[in-house]
Amino acid sequence: MSARRILVKVSPFGEITVEAEGFQGKGCEAATAAIEEALGKARQRTRKPDFWRQTNRHQNHQQLGGGS
């Protein structure tokens, strides 16, 4: 797993970007929630491909039929 970090960038025009790296699923939103709350309502949210990846915490296996 890559290192997790949160980048906060402020442009010369005062635009703030909060970017989470190394997180999967909703972990990035949970990690940045306090920062976003402190900065105020977000104008735009862009989700990276890692957001859509599922964490592999739970796996269910089911076998149907067979047996005797």
- Quick: pLDDT tens for 14-46: 888 888 888 877 788 888 888 888 988 777 777
Record the tokens describing residue 39, joined without a space. Answer: 């900065």
Q: Which residues pair with 6 in a beta bridge?
A: 20
**Rounded distance, CA 31 to CA 43, Å?**
18
Q: Could you tell me the pLDDT band of residue 12, with boundaries at 50, 70 and 90?
A: very high
- Show the beta-strand stretches assigned E in the chain: 5-10, 16-21
